[in-house]
Chain A
Amino acid sequence: MSDVTGEWLIKGASIVGGEVADIRLAGGMIAAVGPDLPAGAAQVLGAAGLVALPGLVDLHAHLREPGREDAETVETGTRAAALGGYTAVHAMANTEPVADTAGVVEQVWRLGQQAGHVDVRPVGAVTVGLGGKQLAELGAMADSAARVRVFSDDGHCVADPLLMRRALEYVKAFDGVIAQHAQEPRLTEGAQLNEGEVASRLGLAGWPAAAEEAIIARDCLLAAHTGSALHVCHVSTAGSVEIIRWAKSKGWRVTAEVTPHHLLLTDDLAEGYDPVFKVNPPLRAQADVDALRAALADGTIDCVATDHAPHPVEAKEAEWAAAAMGMTGLETALRVVQLAMVETGLLDWPGVADRMSVRPARIGRAAGHGQRIAEGGPASLVLYDPAAPPEAVDPATHASKSRNSPFAGMALPGRVVATFLRGTATVLDGKVTR
């Protein structure tokens, strides 16, 4: 195998979809970008036809370790991330034990360091045990080696308005952000699927759009009142988009993410009751998908986040109501975005770089990520072949430990060819290097 950590000369890549140039990587940095750079001692990687993007940053992934190593580990989850073109991943706090102390977030961070495929940035729980009753020691997590800046009870909504206000205020002391899983709990008791025609026909308890929108509206007002930073996880409805657009128009510190699956899939996929399509928030209607795409295109929604949620086979091989919620996504995200956003003309490659790297890095305070591909910048980037013929997704080939991809069997375009993390090739020729 080639020396993945040495100097590299990437020949003839299209820089963020624009000019074709060579990129020289040395010492973890981009040493030069320009035409016909000399190879010297560097290993040469032909990149004709490939788009070079800054390494992708995921604000929202479930790596399951500690506690559910049967579904995913930091090692397997970050391999999957690197294969998807990511160089940084935020690991959600709903592990067992919950990442609500400095000890747990440091453990996750260290596991990420050991794996070395991407930078793992642990997300700290907002409340102790995700219980929604008492603030976790947010400051201790912020000061820990993991340097936590994003806090979330994801999987659970911080439903108590006073607790949410306090959390938003408190994290200002260390430039933190609260990432809210917007789901009004009383309106969604037992909820299974988007409340609409499909759920009514299938006899599945409805998850009304208003349950998401009501919390987002409340939290936007709280963010405005406290001058704090709110990030809205996995926005799924057209109404949520309108509220976020309004909050941003006021200049409030509100950011938002959308998942690849909410950009592509709709609730009618539940018709066979296959829980591979069960996710929270649920798949919505086509009008919602259209609104989410438009919002990502115009920047109302800042970024794509995978909400990668691996589950073991038995958790999905069940009746719909008994099955686990969530879908894998790290290894397919960029291909889905190409299909849903680029091939529809909604986003160009600079737009993809902005929504999948620059903005999520900024929201997550991920230093050294989301930088321009230019001399002096960090050598963290992905080489992507958008012209690779569409190929059906086969979860059996995924590096993730779990197989619950909703895109299984779907022909997605594109291919991640190589990923570099600070000059080290983590993926070459579509394979993890170690």
Chain B
Amino acid sequence: MKRHLISAADLSREEAVLVLDTAAELASVAGRPIRKLPTLRGRTVVNLFYEDSTRTRTSFEAAAKRLSADVINFSAKGSSVAKGESLKDTALTLEAMGSDAIVIRHGASGAPHRLAGWVTGSVINAGDGTHEHPTQALLDAFTIRQRLGSGDQHGADQRGTALDGVRVTIVGDILHSRVARSNVLLLSTLGAEVALVAPPTLIPHAVSSWPCKVSYDLDAELGKSDVVMMLRVQHERMTAAYFPSIREYSRRYGLDAGRMALLPEHAIVMHPGPMNRGVEIAAEVADSPRSTIVAQVANGVTVRMAVLYLMLGGAGESL
């Protein structure tokens, strides 16, 4: 593994499969009476969160703790960050405290790149602005492989396999979505065929250079999808004229029970959370057996364990 995980593009196909295989291996820990491995004992992982995200922070925290790492949570609130300390000074402070890895969530695209230039330890991007969120893409890929494969629930039979030919449709605010950017890169690296569906206002400029296709018509794509991934719609987009109203958005791009019926029988529905029930996803869809939303959360912990394990030098030791 590389020293940092900042973009899903940092991962080769082999490395990405290795993360998924390692996660599958580690998933068995969750079934043990004592869910803890000694692998990262004595190592320090800092969660540096400039944005509120209990979901992602606790996922990384649980992952690090299950590997016996020491975890320091450093949030913008209640720290010197709120007093205007620069990212660089915060980085140097954490470095001086002896952090082995910094997991960073930041509102500015590229903040993890900058951080990586100022510290000697590893940097893991836990979401930067509208850029990327690579561990979300890894947990999504893991979930897809787990659910669409034929093996047992821990996916042991899929070891070594990628996502060749799996058709994934990502729906919603692509323009501002770090989840979409990372998924397009990672899923295409793994051989999946990715389609983006959104109103034209929420499709990035020059998207034609991305390894995916683009459609404005959700209904036309659903029948051809093995996976449909719904993205959260931010309410502030409405005031910026990206679409006329939240109701119109929901009618044209929301996934309700009627639309879900257009999916092939085996297809799954994903959402990175938190959901706006009744906007991009109807409650009966979110709660249906097709939904992997809860599984994604559980898989988030194991995939992040795999990333920490591989990046902090756990590789080589037996599990």
CB-CB under 8 A from B130, the residues of chain A are: 203-205
CB-CB under 8 A from B87, the residues of chain A are: 318-319
Given contacts A203-B131, A272-B113, A318-B87, contact A195 B108 (CB under 8 A): no
Closest to B118 in A: A317
B173 within 8 A of A: no
Report, as a range, how many residues of chain B touch the other chain: 20 to 34
What total of chain A residues lie within 8 Å of the partner, measured CB to CB? 22
Q: Mark B123-139, 1 if CB is under 8 A from A, else 0.
A: 00000111110000000
Return the contact of A319 from the options B111, B207, B209 (Cβ within 8 A).
B111
Given contacts A319-B108, A321-B129, contact A197 B113 (CB under 8 A): no
Distance in angstroms from B117 CB to nearest chain A CB is 8
A48 within 8 A of B: no
CB-CB under 8 A from B206, the residues of chain A are: 195-197, 200
Return the contact of B88 from the options A201, A272, A273, A317 (Cβ within 8 A).
A317
Complex CA gap A200/B87 in Å reads 24
Complex CA gap A208/B204 in Å reads 12
Complex CA gap A272/B112 in Å reads 10
Distance in angstroms from A362 CB to nearest chain B CB is 38
Q: Mark A341-366, 1 if CB is under 8 A from B, else 0.
A: 00000000000000000000000000
- B114 lies within 8 A of A319 (CB): yes
Complex CA gap A177/B178 in Å reads 45
- B109 lies within 8 A of A321 (CB): yes
Return the contact of B132 from the options A203, A208, A314 (Cβ within 8 A).
A203
Given contacts A201-B181, A203-B178, A203-B181, contact A318 B114 (CB under 8 A): yes
Complex CA gap A205/B130 in Å reads 8
- B110 lies within 8 A of A202 (CB): yes
Complex CA gap A192/B109 in Å reads 10
Distance in angstroms from B208 CB to nearest chain A CB is 9
- B129 lies within 8 A of A314 (CB): no
Complex CA gap A392/B223 in Å reads 58
Closest to A273 in B: B110
Complex CA gap A322/B50 in Å reads 14
Complex CA gap A195/B203 in Å reads 12
- B108 lies within 8 A of A197 (CB): no
A320 within 8 A of B: yes
- A320 lies within 8 A of B204 (CB): no
Given contacts A197-B206, A272-B113, A319-B111, contact A202 B106 (CB under 8 A): no
CB-CB under 8 A from B132, the residues of chain A are: 203
Complex CA gap A200/B88 in Å reads 25
Complex CA gap A319/B110 in Å reads 7
Closest to B240 in A: A189
Q: Mark A175-211, 1 if CB is under 8 A from B, else 0.
A: 0000000000000000010011101111111101000
Complex CA gap A322/B114 in Å reads 12
B318 within 8 A of A: no
Number of A-B pairs whose CB atoms are under 8 Å? 67
Given contacts A317-B86, A318-B87, A319-B111, contact A203 B129 (CB under 8 A): yes
- A319 lies within 8 A of B205 (CB): no
Distance in angstroms from A282 CB to nearest chain B CB is 13
Closest to A193 in B: B109
List B105-162 residues whose CB lies under 8 Å from chain A: 106-111, 113-114, 128-132
Distance in angstroms from B244 CB to nearest chain A CB is 18
- A320 lies within 8 A of B110 (CB): yes
- A320 lies within 8 A of B109 (CB): yes
Distance in angstroms from A186 CB to nearest chain B CB is 10
- A202 lies within 8 A of B108 (CB): no
Complex CA gap A298/B178 in Å reads 44
- A197 lies within 8 A of B109 (CB): no
CB-CB under 8 A from A319, the residues of chain B are: 87, 106, 108, 110-111, 114
Q: Mark B180-209, 1 if CB is under 8 A from A, else 0.
A: 010000000000000000000000111101
List A264-320 residues whose CB lies under 8 Å from chain B: 272-273, 314, 317-320
CB-CB under 8 A from A273, the residues of chain B are: 109-111, 113-114
CB-CB under 8 A from B129, the residues of chain A are: 203-204, 321
Distance in angstroms from B223 CB to nearest chain A CB is 28
Distance in angstroms from A420 CB to nearest chain B CB is 43
- B108 lies within 8 A of A322 (CB): yes
- B205 lies within 8 A of A203 (CB): no
From A196, A203, A208, A320, name the one whose CB has the most chain B CB atoms within 10 angstroms: A203
Q: Mark B292-311, 1 if CB is under 8 A from A, else 0.
A: 00000000000000000000
- A203 lies within 8 A of B128 (CB): yes
Closest to B207 in A: A200
Distance in angstroms from A304 CB to nearest chain B CB is 29
CB-CB under 8 A from B108, the residues of chain A are: 319-322
Complex CA gap A133/B27 in Å reads 63
Distance in angstroms from A314 CB to nearest chain B CB is 7
CB-CB under 8 A from A208, the residues of chain B are: 205
Complex CA gap A316/B258 in Å reads 52
15 contacts between A and B (CB under 8 A): A197-B205, A199-B205, A200-B204, A201-B181, A203-B131, A203-B132, A204-B109, A204-B110, A204-B130, A204-B131, A317-B88, A319-B87, A319-B110, A319-B114, A320-B110
A residues contacting B by CB (< 8 A) are 192, 195-197, 199-206, 208, 272-273, 314, 317-322
Among all A-B residue pairs, the 7 with the closest Cβ atoms? A273-B110, A203-B131, A319-B108, A200-B204, A203-B130, A203-B109, A197-B206
B residues contacting A by CB (< 8 A) are 86-88, 106-111, 113-114, 128-132, 178, 181, 204-207, 209-210
